[in-house]
Amino acid sequence: MDAAEFRKRGKEMVDYIADYLEKIDKRQVFPDVEPGYLRPLIPDCAPQDPESFEDVFKDIEKIIMPGVTHWHSPYFFAYFPAASSFPALLADMLCGGIGCVGFSWAASPACTELETVMLDWLGKMINLPDEFLAGKDGQGGGVIQGSASEATLISLLAARTKTVRRVQSEKPELTEADIMGRLVAYASDQAHSSVERAALIGGVKIKNVPSDDTFSVCGSALKKVLDEDKASGLIPFFFCATLGTTPCCSFDKLLELGPICNKENIWMHIDAAYAGSAFICPEFRHLLNGVEFADSFNFNPHKWLLVNFDCSAMWVKKRSDLTGAFKLEPLYLQHHHQESGLVTDYRHWQIPLGRRFRSLKLWFVLRMYGVTGLQEHIRKHVRLSHQFEHLVLQDERFEICAEVVLGLVCFRLKGSNELNKALLKSIDEAKKIHLVPCYLREKFVLRFAICSRTVESTHIKFAWQHISQLTVQLLEKEGKKVTFQ
Amino acid sequence: MDAAEFRKRGKEMVDYIADYLEKIDKRQVFPDVEPGYLRPLIPDCAPQDPESFEDVFKDIEKIIMPGVTHWHSPYFFAYFPAASSFPALLADMLCGGIGCVGFSWAASPACTELETVMLDWLGKMINLPDEFLAGKDGQGGGVIQGSASEATLISLLAARTKTVRRVQSEKPELTEADIMGRLVAYASDQAHSSVERAALIGGVKIKNVPSDDTFSVCGSALKKVLDEDKASGLIPFFFCATLGTTPCCSFDKLLELGPICNKENIWMHIDAAYAGSAFICPEFRHLLNGVEFADSFNFNPHKWLLVNFDCSAMWVKKRSDLTGAFKLEPLYLQHHHQESGLVTDYRHWQIPLGRRFRSLKLWFVLRMYGVTGLQEHIRKHVRLSHQFEHLVLQDERFEICAEVVLGLVCFRLKGSNELNKALLKSIDEAKKIHLVPCYLREKFVLRFAICSRTVESTHIKFAWQHISQLTVQLLEKEGKKVTFQ
């Protein structure tokens, strides 16, 4: 395919994408396929000779679309949102066209420098303390990671290196293996599984801190486990606080936790993967109070800020903590600007070496929506979640299971877990809407997350009517079961 | 921006990208900017109100392009190639449009299933042993990672978990920390820095195995370090063999190394990040002989197989080794197909949780080029590197520093490192072509890598004439220095 054909096919693809997104509400949100559906539909091996674009293109509807879960359907209420917007799609096209791999400043200066400045823009939008910004001569700064999991891992590894060095200087008789064997990381019992995974990868222990009855970790809970562990000779070194937990969007109490971490020489990382986008609205910014105690902070514009996946924004107060954990410098990656102090080589900030020009997405989205446009998007989602909450509350058969703060509603039928599993099963089978469950303590709970950019009040009403109707059928059936038992 | 405007702007962007790539040879391959150039060109913070697409668009040439290193220029000979092709760009547009996050089968069945089948296609193209393929009921299979660094890390972690479990079952008196403290990983002294980094992350020791005078690790070299380390109580557990090292594209001797690793219970990972693409040509496939001894294998179609970054293909013989190292299963990520045996949840195979629909790029590229089209691409690059090699060899002032096997030529002026540094400096300053250096043993060497999809014989001739001319000027200057000393 040459440039001339790309001009033609690229434009057809633009139209296909516009059509797909404009009419996505007409597609069934969750596919009908069974595992293994795709393999029989395509050949066993790659073709020897080139096929035409037409042949490939017509297979999109035939082979791919029947197996797609439509994350941008207004009937998609599962997980958390995956952001999507037209400005971000345009920026990603440009990113692909430029096709640079920006592992160092020299590998493409624009790629590195735009990222640093965009993370400053974004940091200012959520009113991060100045220490987290790069500015012209700051010690902190931001970086785009691929996912919150990587941000958690990188911060845990930086904390590990820092602590091993500190303990070794205090107690030179200890070997690195001795110290590693005594390090402990902590996170809420509501924290994302990626935190436990980061500790597994880093080869250190991790312990859950019990959350309170609002599913938040408070200072006294952390203090209790720290005291026990220190008494038994362990070395606490890392705490991952969550703002907006995955099960129910609860918030750890930063203002209590932060001072404890600071006093105990514990790195505090904040994972606000979903909730972080909301902090651009002044009315939600208070949820971030206490960030001033943290060493690192992360949220995912690719969840809720209209920047297509992947774009996970991470900031640190001391960039040297990250780079100090990893820096390895073979000659073919050195360049003569390196020691100027102005230069950032982002490969020292992340797990992979290569990186795409992802800051273009932020630049396009922030400029073409403006802060006010993005605030409107957040506020619409929060409004819709409260609309759904009110519908649930008006129905005596149901209960709300956790405070609705942002765009997630946790709800269930009053009654057994089995009953709620049966309700979810009937929702799954009908495939009119898509949502996923969670456990809160021992309770099986349905999560209703406002996701799509184009979801409106009518879709919320439809979803609730649909759930109500399935509930009636379910309770009738259950009633019959009881009657005939 | 609504769908109607996206149709218009998307088409403009397609034309912009086509123009950029068609006329990329007219742009200076390496930018003129100094560190910090970008910040003064844009505002201090994000705009409150939306800006128009036109405003953003015109800033691409004004702010971004002056700072771009043009990786797809036919005058770019640095690092290794970053793949780019029109079919891959089209597939990436589609990937963005669908915008699913495929961390589990259910999150988008097509995303997972196409990936499994595409990795089988690709595995067959390089004639990987069947054990590495997923097929309908294989124990192995492939996955797309973001980078070779991640593939190395994941395999090292899987090996670590496997070894810790084995040693614990053999010697229950040892704690996990005891074992971790005695684990050692190995790689060639020519291996990529990401291998050392993987060991740092995993908290285990790593040792260099000395390469021979062809920069390859042979069996006896590995055996020697293993014997020494075992004698001193260490536990060797992981060896990363490299096919196509970054400095000079040398090849470790798999057929000698593999049997040693198998006998010693050492996980052998093969990193063929750059060279792997060449194995689709029968005449280069012999370089992969010995892969049958490996536990995992990785190469980057995003380097040399015309699939835009990121697409790093990794295969394992036992998928349970990867998933066993990490599996954590919160309820909101479970789905009822999970235990069917047919289902792959790729999030257990990788560091991040989320993942894009990257297999679309492979599907588009493999079909629209066909195996023969891709072989032509590889063969053209190898032909061009030999063309450059011959030009160097005809000039008595220069020497070739390592065997030219694929698309990389390591060369230098006969003489001091200082002289060669001066030559590179004059190349850097002229900015007509772009390349980077390396050290081979103590020698400072220039790396000339064939990179661009559109590079032709004329560009190679131009590059050599340019280097020759700069050499004349340099030697004249040096001569004068000598004269006047």
Minimal CA separation from B255 to chain A, in Å: 28
A323 has pLDDT over 90: no
Are B38 and A117 in contact (CB < 8 Å)? yes
Interface predicted TM-score (ipTM)? 0.95
CB burial class (10 A; 0-12, 13-18, 19+) of residue B139? middle
Are A17 and B10 in contact (CB < 8 Å)? yes
- Model confidence at A340, pLDDT cuts 50, 70, 90, reads low
Are B353 and A98 in contact (CB < 8 Å)? no
Of B50, B68, B366, the CB nearest to A100: B68
Are A68 and B326 in contact (CB < 8 Å)? no
**What is the residue whose two structure tokens read 């795709």?**
A38
Query: What's residue A451's pLDDT?
Result: 98
Task: Report chain A residues whose CB lies below 8 A from the CB of B122.
Answer: 46
**What's the DSSP call for residue A52?**
P
Alpha-carbon span A259 to B46, nearest angstrom: 32
**What's the DSSP call for residue B346?**
G
Q: What would the pLDDT profile of A208-232 be if each residue is shown by its tens digit?
A: 999 999 999 999 999 999 999 999 9
Q: What would the pLDDT profile of B134-153 be if each residue is shown by its tens digit?
A: 998 889 999 999 999 999 99
Q: What would the pLDDT profile of A40-81 be if each residue is shown by its tens digit?
A: 999 999 999 999 999 999 999 999 999 999 999 999 999 999
Please indicate if any CB of chain A lies within 8 Å of the CB of B233: no
- Model confidence at A9, pLDDT cuts 50, 70, 90, reads very high
In this structure, how many other beta carbons lie within 10 angstroms of the beta carbon of residue A225?
17
A330 has pLDDT over 80: no
Element (H, E) at B383: helix B359-393
Are B367 and A331 in contact (CB < 8 Å)? no
Q: How many CB pairs below 8 A link A and B? A: 465
Task: Report chain A residues whose CB lies below 8 A from the CB of B105.
Answer: 35
Helix/strand/coil for B207: strand
Interface of A with B in 292-311 (CB under 8 A): 302, 308-310
Task: Report chain B residues whose CB lies below 8 A from the CB of A302.
Answer: 354
Helix/strand/coil for A5: helix
Are A146 and B354 in contact (CB < 8 Å)? yes
Residue type at position B237: F
Model pTM score: 0.95
- Model confidence at A265, pLDDT cuts 50, 70, 90, reads very high
Lowest-confidence range among A15-29, A125-139, B284-298, B364-378?
A: A125-139
Residue A310, preceding peptide bond in cis (omega within 30° of 0): yes
Task: Report chain B residues whose CB lies below 8 A from the CB of A247.
Answer: 330, 332
Question: Within its chain, how far is the Cα of B140 from the centroid?
Answer: 22
Task: Report chain A residues whose CB lies below 8 A from the CB of B48.
Answer: 370-372
Minimal CA separation from A170 to chain B, in Å: 20
Picking from B42, B71, B113 by the largest number of A CB atoms within 10 A of its own CB, the best residue to mutate is B113
B434: nearest CA partner in chain A: A107
Alpha-carbon span A323 to A70, nearest angstrom: 39
Task: Report chain B residues whose CB lies below 8 A from the CB of A193.
Answer: 328-330, 333
Alpha-carbon span A349 to A145, nearest angstrom: 9
Residue B229 CA: distances (Å) to CA of A399, B158, B178, B267: 62, 21, 16, 16
Are A6 and B16 in contact (CB < 8 Å)? no
Minimal CA separation from B335 to chain A, in Å: 9
Alpha-carbon span A283 to A252, nearest angstrom: 18
B454: nearest CA partner in chain A: A2
Please indicate if any CB of chain B lies within 8 Å of the CB of A420: no
Please indicate if any CB of chain A lies within 8 Å of the CB of B34: yes
Please indicate if any CB of chain B lies within 8 Å of the CB of A36: yes
Task: Report chain B residues whose CB lies below 8 A from the CB of A372.
Answer: 48-50
Minimal CA separation from A357 to chain B, in Å: 10
Of B110, B308, B437, the CB nearest to A96: B308
φ and ψ at residue A106, rounded to 5 degrees: -70, -25
Interface of A with B in 339-368 (CB under 8 A): 340, 342-343, 351-354, 356, 360, 363-364, 366-368
As a whole number, the mean pLDDT across chain A is 95
Are A201 and B122 in contact (CB < 8 Å)? no
Query: What's residue A166's pLDDT?
Result: 94
A483 has pLDDT over 60: no
Walk along chain B (485 residues) and give the pLDDT tens digit of each residue: 999 999 999 999 999 999 999 999 999 999 999 999 999 999 999 999 999 999 999 999 999 999 999 999 999 999 999 999 999 999 999 999 999 998 899 999 999 999 999 999 999 999 999 999 999 888 999 999 999 999 999 999 999 999 999 999 999 999 888 899 999 999 999 999 999 999 999 999 999 999 999 999 999 999 999 999 999 999 999 999 999 999 999 999 999 999 999 999 999 999 999 999 999 999 999 999 999 999 999 999 999 999 999 999 999 999 989 888 776 666 666 676 665 567 788 888 888 888 999 999 999 999 999 999 999 999 999 999 999 999 999 999 999 999 999 999 999 999 999 999 999 999 999 999 999 999 999 999 999 999 999 999 999 999 999 999 999 999 998 886 655 44
Task: Report chain B residues whose CB lies below 8 A from the CB of A16.
Answer: 94, 97
Q: What would the pLDDT profile of A354-384 be if each residue is shown by its tens digit?
A: 899 999 999 999 999 999 999 999 999 999 9
Query: What's residue A275's pLDDT?
Result: 98
Q: Which of B155, B105, B142, B92 is nearest to B347 (CA)?
A: B105
Helix/strand/coil for A373: helix
Of A113, A182, A373, the CB nearest to B67: A113
B326: nearest CA partner in chain A: A197
The residue among A387 and B176 whose pLDDT is bigger is A387
Query: What's residue A177's pLDDT?
Result: 86
Are B367 and A51 in contact (CB < 8 Å)? yes
Task: Report chain A residues whose CB lies below 8 A from the CB of B84.
Answer: 96, 99
Percent of residues, chain A, with pLDDT higher than 70: 95
**What is the residue whose two structure tokens read 């015109």?**
B58
Helix/strand/coil for B437: strand
Are B201 and A150 in contact (CB < 8 Å)? no
Minimal CA separation from B290 to chain A, in Å: 23
Minimal CA separation from A298 to chain B, in Å: 14
B120: nearest CA partner in chain A: A45
What would the DSSP string read from start to end of A343-369?
A: ---GGGGSSSS----THHHHHHHHHHH
